[in-house]
Amino acid sequence: MSVKTFRQAINEALHQEMERDPTVILIGEDIVGGHGGSAKKPGSSGGMMGVTAGLYQKFGERRVIDTPISESAIMGAAAGAALTGLRPVAEMMFVDFFGVCFDQIYNQAAKFRYMFGGNARTPMVIRAMTGAGLVCAAQHSQALWPIFTHIPGLKVVLPSCAYDAKGLLAQAIRDDDPVIFLEHKLLYDTQDEVPDEPYTIPFGEAKITREGADVTIVAFGRMVQLANQVADKLKGTISVEVVDPRTTSPLDTDVIVESVAHTGRLVAVDEANPMCNLASEVISVVALNALASLKAAPRKISAPHTPVPASPVLEKLYVPSTGQIEAAVREVMAA
Amino acid sequence: MELSKSELLRAYRLMKTIREFESRISREFEAGTVPGFTHLYLGQEAVATGICMHLTDEDYISSTHRGHGHCIAKGCDVRKMALELWCKRDGLCRGKGGSMHIADISKGMLGANAIVGAGAPLALGAALTAKTLGKPNVSVTFGGDGATNQGTVFESMNFAVVLKLPVIFAVENNGYGEHTGIAYHLGAKDIASRAAAFGMPAVMVDGTDFFAVYDAMGEATARARSGAGPSTIECVAPRWRGHFEGDAQAYRDLTEIKELRERKDCLKLFRERVREDKKLEAHEMDRVDLDVLALIDEAVEAAKVAPHPTPEDLLTDVYVSY
């Protein structure tokens, strides 16, 4: 056990899964970097954010494969390789780039098993950077997990800390279904106690990151960290429970319903744009299963229904904040 | 490339099976017994056959919406195919795929595909598996002339060249992308030269001539198996039917089809050639004809009365784990 960053935890999971299983390969743009450059230093990048550093040096060009900038070809190659015996981990540098290759994911990989009558498996992982907060503007900052969550056949993972990132990524790689694994850019440098040995975390099992009795906050991805801060700040005055579903598909509705049945109050927090996002889904689940236990109308905190602005001033207003979450907690308590 | 007598008979049987299967589906469609949407391979039988005669079950193909011919040539069971076209529970895909998604992974058939151009990236993946695991296998992506205007195909051609993948792009130039003729939709003079511009060998052959397709595929396969990378074969074989069954084909002069049936019938051309070369006798092929007709009749009649999927089948096979 030692303290590791979110970035190191992901890198370690990739190392350990590649060591464990020779059919695991990595494929993407600049996950190696430096091929064909004048410095003649393949492996000099290790990903735009250094997440895949050292993997090329360790596992070589047969298993750590840089491609041309051709997202459809990458996603299709991963899907085809998964159908025929490999366990590819494909990197979509920024989640926003799904726009140029989504067919290969939602019409192909996600549907093979069903369309082929259960006679196929597609064990692939797509890793992608996600989320706002680094002044990356409208086409490099989105929170698109509601779109993936909507598609039957895909599993969607949204880790909120380094410990979960390592265990969930190992699970994703060993899983026999296509998995979208989303890494929030602002989490890469966050730190956590992370075991050195390999471990997995099952999908569809929410984690209660703070126990409480008055209000339930269900938060996703980076928003879990903000919810935890609010719970810690209010400790002693309002007892806040924080639920981190960790995967949006499958979604652990049992823990959400149990928590709200216990507290009677719900604040749902999702960085994604508000129409049909996971906060909406959580409120729907509670309305269907725990309506009678609600002491106040649920509150929903999300980004506004706008693209992500470039201006750091506007971006700060765009991303849900601890201030908004705290205000919502106080509102449901006052109701 | 010299073919033995049994190989020639196998080629003839495959082409004849495709011809009779598709002809029967056409009649059944007109009679209203086949559910859904279907696109037939009539006129192009020599392409799938000439290509797939070089492949084993460990070699993979990705197919198109016009995929029945590819299935048959790759060795899929015609009875299970018929069951799938009738969306029955014992079909190749348990009735959940139908004509446009028919697949048999155990035979290396990675699925018909209702998205034009989507099969090319998938074939890259199958080739990547072979390359990564050090196996001598190849993958083939079938795609029409229309599909070659998709970005996925351009991406895949460059990708395959850059990563030296054992892929063969089998382009089926059947003259039309849906209702639009190639004279309108293709900017380049032909597809082969465009493929060659990506840096791979690319040839154009008469896709109604089984032997021309077979020989070109022999070279492409040898190259791919040796690790030298991808090739493209543009097979010109105009389709005899519309884009889909029921297509009135108002965009087409119907004498064109009559002429194709008279002059560019790959089965007729094959029979003439093997008889001229004294490789097969007419009666040997006639016997195949009878076998094939009986098989297809049996397959279709069984499919019509076979059980449908059960209501429980609606919810299964979405995920492996639940």
pLDDT tens across the length of chain B (322 residues): 789 999 999 999 999 999 999 999 999 999 999 999 999 999 999 999 999 999 999 999 999 999 999 999 999 999 999 999 999 999 999 999 999 999 999 999 999 999 999 999 999 999 999 999 999 999 999 999 999 999 999 999 999 999 999 999 999 999 999 999 999 999 999 999 999 999 999 999 999 999 999 999 999 999 999 999 999 999 999 999 999 999 999 999 989 999 999 999 999 999 999 999 999 999 999 999 999 999 999 999 999 999 999 999 999 999 998 8
Closest CA of chain B from A114, distance in Å: 5
Give the sheet arrangement for strand A87-94, strand by strand: A64-66, A24-28, A87-94, A125-130, A179-184, A155-157, A247-249
Residue B307 lies in a domain: no
Q: Which among B115, B319, B320 has CB closest to A107?
A: B115
Q: What is the distance between the alpha carbons of residues B318 and B322, in angstroms, rounded to a whole number? A: 8
Report the pLDDT value the prediction gives residue B196, as an integer from 0 to 100. Answer: 98
Q: What is the distance between the alpha carbons of residues A156 and A159, in angstroms, rounded to a whole number? A: 10
A114 and B156 within 8 Å at the Cβ level: the answer is no
A83 and B122 within 8 Å at the Cβ level: the answer is yes
Q: A110-140: per-residue pLDDT in tens?
A: 999 999 999 999 999 999 999 999 999 999 9
Closest CA to B58 of B216, B166, B193: B166
- Percent of chain A whose predicted confidence (pLDDT) is above 70: 100
Report the pLDDT value the prediction gives residue A136, as an integer from 0 to 100. Answer: 95
A184 and A222 fall within a common domain: no
Neighbouring CB atoms inside 10 A of B261's CB total 13
Report the pLDDT value the prediction gives residue B321, as an integer from 0 to 100. Answer: 87
Question: B175-192 burial, b for 16+ CB within 10 Å, e for fewer?
Answer: bbbeeeebeeebeeebbb
For residue B106, count CB atoms less than 10 angstroms from its CB and return exposed for 0-12, middle for 13-18, buried for 19 or more: exposed
Residue A83 lies in a domain: yes
Neighbouring CB atoms inside 10 A of B282's CB total 10
Amino acid at A79: A
Domain total in chain B: 1
Residue A127 lies in a domain: yes
A73 and B318 within 8 Å at the Cβ level: the answer is no
Amino acid at B284: E
Residue A200 lies in a domain: no
Report the pLDDT value the prediction gives residue B1, as an integer from 0 to 100. Answer: 74
Which CATH number is A68's domain given? 3.40.50.970
Closest CA of chain A from B103, distance in Å: 6
Q: What is the 3-state secondary structure (H, E, C) of chain B?
A: CCCCHHHHHHHHHHHHHHHHHHHHHHHHHHHCCCCCCCCCCCCCHHHHHHHHCCCCCCCEEECCCCCHHHHHHCCCCHHHHHHHHCCCCCCCCCCCCCHHHCCEHHHCECCCCCCCCCHHHHHHHHHHHHHHHCCCCCEEEEEECCHHHCHHHHHHHHHHHHCCCCEEEEEEECCEECCEEHHHHCCCCCHHHHHHCCCCCEEEEECCCHHHHHHHHHHHHHHHHCCCCCEEEEEECCCCCCCCCCCCCCCCCHHHHHHHHHHCCHHHHHHHHHHHCCCCCHHHHHHHHHHHHHHHHHHHHHHHHCCCCCHHHHHCCCCCCC
Which CATH number is B94's domain given? 3.40.50.970
* Residue B160: domain span: 5-302
Q: Residue A87's closest chain B neighbor by CA?
A: B129
A257 and A280 fall within a common domain: yes
- Half-sphere exposure at residue A274, Cβ-oriented, CA atoms within 13 angstroms: 13
A140 catalytically annotated: yes
* The two three-digit tokens of residue A189, written as one number: 């440098």
Phi, psi (rounded to 5 degrees) for A143: -120, 85
Angle between helices B5-31 and B282-305 (to 10 degrees): 40
Q: A11-27: per-residue pLDDT in tens?
A: 999 999 999 999 999 99
Q: Which residue has 């195909």 as its token pair?
A: B153
Residue A317 lies in a domain: yes
Measure the CA dihedral B145/B149/B152/B157, to 10°: 70
A107 and A161 fall within a common domain: yes
Q: A162-172: per-residue pLDDT in tens?
A: 999 999 999 99
The residues, any chain, with a CB within 8 Å of residue A116's CB and separated by 6 or more, are B92, B93, B96, B97, B101, B103, B105, B111
Q: Which of A116, A157, A171 has the most B C-beta neighbours within 10 Å, making it the best mutation to test the interface with B?
A: A116
A169 and A261 fall within a common domain: no
Residue A130 lies in a domain: yes
A311 and A268 fall within a common domain: yes
Report the pLDDT value the prediction gives residue B211, as an integer from 0 to 100. Answer: 98
Residue B314 lies in a domain: no
Strand partners, B177: B180
A318 and A246 fall within a common domain: yes
pLDDT, mean over chain A: 97
For residue A118, count CB atoms less than 10 angstroms from its CB and return exposed for 0-12, middle for 13-18, buried for 19 or more: middle
Domain total in chain A: 2
Q: Which of A23, A26, A115 has the most B C-beta neighbours within 10 Å, making it the best mutation to test the interface with B?
A: A115
Q: Is residue A199's pLDDT more than 90? A: yes
Residue A114 lies in a domain: yes
Residue B311 lies in a domain: no
- Contact yes or no for B70/B63 (Cβ under 8 A): yes
A84 and B126 within 8 Å at the Cβ level: the answer is yes
* Identified catalytic residue from A15, A140, A150, A262: A140
Residue B214 lies in a domain: yes
Residue A202 lies in a domain: no
Q: Mean pLDDT throughout A192-219?
A: 98
Report the pLDDT value the prediction gives residue A335, as an integer from 0 to 100. Answer: 86
A71 and A92 fall within a common domain: yes
A255 and A285 fall within a common domain: yes
By DSSP bridging, strand A155-157 and strand A247-249 are antiparallel
A128 and A48 fall within a common domain: yes
Query: Is the Cα dihedral B84, B88, B93, B97 positive or negative?
Result: positive
Q: What is the distance between the alpha carbons of residues A152 and A106, in angstroms, rounded to a whole number? A: 9
Residue A164 lies in a domain: yes
Q: Which among B110, B125, B319 has CB closest to A78?
A: B125
Residue B33 lies in a domain: yes
* Residue A100: domain span: 2-194
Of A194, A217, A240, which residue sits at a domain end? Answer: A194
- Contact yes or no for B187/B154 (Cβ under 8 A): no
